Structure 1
Amino acid sequence: MMLVDNPVERDPVLRDLTEISVNALKDLELARKELKENDLQMQEMNKLANERVNEMSRVNQQLQDKISFVENMTKSMQEKNEHLEKELKITETEKINYSKLNALLKEDLSKVIKKEKELSIKQIFLEKKVKEQAENLLKGEKMSIIGTFTSRLAHDIRNPLSKLKMSHDILCNSPNMPVLDKIKHQQRIESAISNMTHIIEDVLEFVRMSELDMKETPIKTIIKSSMESITVPSSVKLEIKGDDRAALCDSRKLEAVFVNLLTNAIEAIRGKGYVAIKIMDNGNNIEICFEDSGAGVIPSLQGKIFEPMFTTKQHGTGLGLAICKMIVEQHGGKLLYKNTPSAFSVLLPKINNHKMVAR
């Protein structure tokens, strides 16, 4: 094997240059690596810087938006403040006006109170005058009624009185008259006296309403007592319907009302038909209804049937229903009439709701 002669090894200078070159290449490679690493770091830093710039730009934009919002809010607040200042001025003006108006109202109120006192005095004076006028009218009305009563009483008494006088004269001038004829004229005298007594009692009852003797009494007891006081034809069907109820009443006066209504009902059906007495519950009242099969009262006369001295009969004072109405109202009740079917209803307060009208 042949050995090759290496000049570098034999020449120290070359050997040093070689080492220097090798070292230089190593250093260059290290430097290149460092530059590459630095370049990557720079790129990373540049990237971070760009992100930071972008972040700062976004934050800056948000700040700009917030600044714009605050500026808008400030402007809006200024506008609202200006509006509130205007409103405040208006409010102060209105407050001044209200104060003036309040002062005027107080002044007017004082005038109103003063006027009210004057009117109150005038009202008392006028009420007194009205009361006096009403009393005068009532006196005049009473005098008118008394005058009408007197005329009607004289007319109603004249007929039975004439019959009585005629029968009395015949009995006095005919001592030998047969007994049957004497009995006949005696009956006429008794009938005439009975008619005059009935007329006088009606008038007295109407003009002098006595106080009530109030006691708790079953309604059916009063109805049955009323039925026993009158003559009921056999052709009349008379019946009581409904459960019995007690009422706080003057049984004697209420019996007089029932007798009158029963008598009128029997006369209305001309002694033939039916009369039903119904006891019913009507809210706070007890209703006693006298219903008959008659034709009833014509509509044009229904508003007058309770007026004093109004009658459709050929005889009587026309005070019967007026007296009945007064007695029922004296008990705190009502007397009503309805047609189809013909019926009079007496409404009396229940015992726990009773309110008596003082007379």
Structure 2
Amino acid sequence: MPSIITLYPLDKKLVLPKPQEEAPREKVALLSESGRLISTRKRDGWGSASATTGLRKHPVALYTRGGNEITENFPAVVEELRSLALPKDILVTSEIFWTSGSGVREDLGALSGLAQASPENARKTQEKTGSARLMLFTPLIIKGKDVSSLPYHKRAEQVAEWLDKRDHELLSRMEHLTEDFAALQKRVVKESWEGLVLYDADAGTAFETNGRHEKPPRPDGCWKWKPLFEADFVATKFEPGTGKNTGLAGKIYIAQIDSRTGQLFPCGEVPLHKKEHKILFANKAIYPIVVEVAYEIRTPKGALRTSSVLRERSPLDKKIEECILPEKFWKK
């Protein structure tokens, strides 16, 4: 693997690392006991890469994980990044996110709109609603050299050193949470966080230059943890499957009852994974039917993300009128 890659424009073959999907509980416990566990909050934003190029016209640049440049869409963030006056040829893994007016919860939909809008429209929107923010994780390249194999804690310390040199409002480093893992799991649920990202402080990471973005490197020593929530919904219809699922149901559409009106409030769709569910929900005669669904996160509009059907509920067990939409999702 070459030690230097093109940072402007960013080499599209660069594949950034991602956390492993499941945190090994025994290993996490041992790391916590030994003081080697770094626990951070998982934000609900876009994974990104932040670069310093040394170029006069483009001294810093911001990219999506896929290598698409979004520098001009986030001018306030980029200006703060430029003000750090970092050496050239630095590439840092990062995450860009946008919070609502309360600042309590990230809004991935709003961020996606900003990233996909024209630079002019993105700028005007942020002037009215507030700028997106950028969290810097750890560097992969410093002064053109690959530093990804260095321990997480050393690379995180370098980011802290850079940020401590200037006042900034929109930039931040990884927040190191001090509670033990059990306490943090409860905090995630209580404060409606998306989850945690856990690091072995002494582990390195890796990146690839093979262009296989569908298969990013997931080095040992970095894991994510998300809670699973469960709730009951009314399945209203299905969408037929395709390919090998022809003749079966591919997904179902779900809703809950708005108690103010008694009407069904659409809550998006749920993909079907189990063969028995694909057969069951392909029968139009069963609708509407109550289903129990597991999910990782619920968007501000009430839709689910990373969801799956646990089971159908018998009318004797759960009635349709009992599937009530939580008040926080009521349209104002």
Q: Please, what TM-score do these two structures have when normalized by structure 1?
A: 0.17
**Which one has the bigger strand percentage?**
2
**Which one has the bigger helix percentage?**
1
Structure with max Cα Rg: 1
Higher relative contact order (CA 8 A, sep 6+): 2
